[in-house]
Structure 1
Amino acid sequence: MGEISDKVYWVWLSSIPGIGAKRFYYLVKRFGSPKAVWECTTDDILDACRLIGDKVVQNVITHKSAVHLKRAQKIAEDPAIKVITLIDDEYPKLLKTIYDPPPVLYCKGQPLKETPFMVSIVGSRRTSEYGRQMAEKLAYELACAGVTIVSGLARGIDTMAHRGAIRAGGYTIGVLGCGVDVIYPRENKKLFMQMEQYGTLISEYPPGTQPAASNFPARNRIISGLSQAVLVVEAGSTSGALITVDFALEQGRDVYALPGNVTSPYSSGTNQLIKEGARPVTCADDILEDLGITVNKKAKQPSMTSYQLDIFEMEVYNALEDGEKQLEELAAITGFDIGRLNAILTLLEMKGIIKQLPGGKFVRQCMI
């Protein structure tokens, strides 16, 4: 195999099933380095059984083979993937301070950057149109101000946060619960490719690792660990995004939440966070002020036409303030008959102010 770098041993040890960050650091502390773990005897490994468990010990013994080391070397030398270990200068300093930082980060796309201001935007996979719009809008405005947007590339809020950052021409980091060479979810293939071009995909899991439910809670500690603050845009009471909040609080990060409709199950988690002390966010400036960033507001806003609405159009627009509505709901709120309401909705759609969703629902397309 030729000369083997220390980085290969880091990849080898961290790739063993069941190791995880805590067991990795225990073995390195006990033996001195990942290379020393590779070189130790089977009896030495068996002595460690009490603290890392029989199954993991057997995995270590099984993986002490030339085949597994060669695989690790192939990964470490892959030009398409940058491998960063905890002792490398490129390892994010803020992430290094958390309780159990990942020993190895696999990166794809642009070189991983640790910028002065980094904010995580997270939320549920199942979202309302209000949540999706606000996630993109807030990410766009933060990215325009020079803030790096960190999220998990999942469907829903994560997707919109990355899109907003890319649309702003900003830098964004996607933290995966699978290998950086695995596109998940599949419908995000286009976004995945955009992230490679404009941002960075990272994972603590080696290339080829398929998504598993157990990977995502651990992934969330990296999302919060990379950031000074975490913003939860929309989350139900059992959303996995709340796990990220728990990690953020443990790590001493600031937590923000977007207020939502009190009758919407999509916002029950975020509204509860606000009751428990999370700072409510209604615009990007709420976060930018805390970060000490002053922004030229004219430069920050996306370019759009200044819309002039008559009183009837404004009434329908206002009726959509708290999210999507069926035609019958809008008729009940505004008092307009169906024929007149359809005419107003058509005009608003032509102006690009609202759009019709599947199922006959209408929702705001932009803020005016």
Structure 2
Amino acid sequence: MRDPELRMWLRCVRAARVGVPAVRRLIQRFGQLDAAWDEGRRGWLAAGIEARSCDALEAVAESDLDTDLAWLGDPAAPHPRRFCPVDDGEFPVLLAESPHPPIGLFVVGDPALLWQPQLAIVGSRHPTAAGQENAAAFAAALSESGFTITSGLAEGVDHAAHRAALDAGGATIAVMGTGPDSIYPRANRALGVDIAARGALVTEFAPGTGARRDHFPRRNRIIASLSLGTLVVEAGVQSGALISARMAMEAGREVMAIPGSIHNPLARGCHRLLREGAALIETVDDVLDVLRAPALQLAERFRLQLGPVQTRPGSARDGAGDASSTHDPEHRRVLDALGFDPCRIEQLAERTGLTLPALSSILLLLELDGLVTAEHGRYARTAPTAARNTPGPA
């Protein structure tokens, strides 16, 4: 993306009262956002932008945009940084189609994880010992089954889920209610550094943005919308985890809850969700049963959205392969590049020349067909004797 266009995207992020509908009207009218900036206020009003939104765009300080660009382009950054706007081809499709998507996402770490099948694990910031153990156990097992674990980097259940996914060798995404340069709470700073190195930190808020109470419902909406389903481990009736669950329902996602003792106040939020129709979860297999159908639907939607195979610019395209492995040439191409030794998706992208979104969707379909196994964030061909005849997450 050219700097003038990126600068206008960042201006929209920082402008209060400017949302995705306004941004899309500007793009529809002017083709690109930097062209919209050149047109100025008169052009924005003609495009149907409200006067107060025009005021907000004009009020953004140029120094703030300079700060954003400097942060994104810092050559000394220890981990990859990028801004992914809502109309970008690599913006996560589930989030883009949610009721209220953000204008864009700042990502520190691996942006390819945003296209992986995700499970949100949320709950109390002050769980019982059993609740913390359940969060860790489910996160570890489900990350080993190929799901990216998504949560909010809070203390308690969030921390346990993130850490367990990393310790199991899996992937995790932390959605933050602050800017990408500020890990909150401070107690989770070391965890945030580990996630940036082995997963992804994600936020809709610009660099320098501190923690505010009204930011966290927006964070929860992103968590719920990115994921195929939300698992509530332990939550009281006033817990923010119930906000995430409600937002998941609004976005058409699966909602699951782990029951607890009738004497535990942190089980009452889960019991309320169960009365409202959430899936009752007792084992990891229960979660896999709930997510199997939406995971397959997601993979098929990826195929429809991506259309013909997409390759990286300048990449080699070698379509040779064993036709008996699959009838789909794109699938055959990926299987030919995979061995029985696990490899990361980035390695596979280099071997095949496929874009990460295209590769993610193909891997998900192959995994559901039992042809590929995902373990600890790596992929390998399923051994012939272990191949399954029925679809389902690994």
Q: CA deviation at 1:161?
A: 0.7
Q: CA deviation at 1:104?
A: 1.2
- TM-score of the superposed pair, with normalisation by structure 2: 0.68
AA paired with 2:59? T
Q: Does 1:58 align with 2:55?
A: yes
> Greater shift after overlay, 113-122 or 92-101?
113-122
> Greater shift after overlay, 6-15 or 177-186?
6-15
Identity value in percent? 36
Is the CA contact (8 Å cut-off) linking 2:82 and 2:106 kept in structure 1? yes
Is the CA contact (8 Å cut-off) linking 2:68 and 2:207 kept in structure 1? no
Is the CA contact (8 Å cut-off) linking 1:178 and 1:211 kept in structure 2? yes
What is residue 7 of structure 2 aligned with on the other side? 8
What is residue 142 of structure 2 aligned with on the other side? 142
| Structure ID, larger Rg | 1
Measure the CA separation in 1 of the matches of 2:256 and 2:227. Answer: 12
What is residue 177 of structure 1 aligned with on the other side? 177
What is residue 109 of structure 2 aligned with on the other side? 109
What is residue 191 of structure 2 aligned with on the other side? 191
- TM-score of the superposed pair, with normalisation by structure 1: 0.72
1:150-165 equivalences in 2 (<5 Å): 150-165=150-165
Q: CA deviation at 1:25?
A: 4.0
Measure the CA separation in 2 of the matches of 1:67 and 1:163. Answer: 37
AA paired with 2:41? T
Unmatched runs of 5 consecutive residues or more in structure 1 = 301-368
Is the CA contact (8 Å cut-off) linking 1:115 and 1:148 kept in structure 2? no
Count of aligned pairs:
292
Determine helix, strand or coil for the equivalent of 1:174: strand
> Greater shift after overlay, 181-190 or 282-291?
282-291
Measure the CA separation in 2 of the matches of 1:242 and 1:29. Answer: 37
Measure the CA separation in 2 of the matches of 1:209 and 1:106. Answer: 12
Determine helix, strand or coil for the equivalent of 1:119: strand
Q: CA deviation at 1:83?
A: 1.3
Measure the CA separation in 1 of the matches of 2:369 and 2:278. Answer: 22
What is residue 35 of structure 1 aligned with on the other side? 34
Q: CA deviation at 1:8?
A: 2.4
What is residue 90 of structure 1 aligned with on the other side? 90
CA spacing shift, 1:66–1:178, aligned 2, 3 Å? closer
CA spacing shift, 1:52–1:186, aligned 2, 3 Å? farther
Q: CA deviation at 1:10?
A: 1.0
What is residue 246 of structure 2 aligned with on the other side? 246
Measure the CA separation in 1 of the matches of 2:271 and 2:136. Answer: 19
What is residue 357 of structure 2 aligned with on the other side? none
Is the CA contact (8 Å cut-off) linking 1:22 and 1:100 kept in structure 2? no
Is the CA contact (8 Å cut-off) linking 2:123 and 2:157 kept in structure 1? yes
Measure the CA separation in 2 of the matches of 1:211 and 1:47. Answer: 36
Measure the CA separation in 2 of the matches of 1:22 and 1:215. Answer: 20
Q: CA deviation at 1:95?
A: 1.6
Measure the CA separation in 2 of the matches of 1:86 and 1:45. Answer: 19
Query: What are the superposed Cα offsets for residues 178-233 of structure 1, whole Å, 9 maximum, x if unpaired?
Result: 01110100001111111112110000111111011111101111111111111011
Q: CA deviation at 1:244?
A: 1.0
Unmatched runs of 5 consecutive residues or more in structure 2 = 293-367, 376-394
Is the CA contact (8 Å cut-off) linking 1:137 and 1:164 kept in structure 2? yes
AA paired with 1:206? A
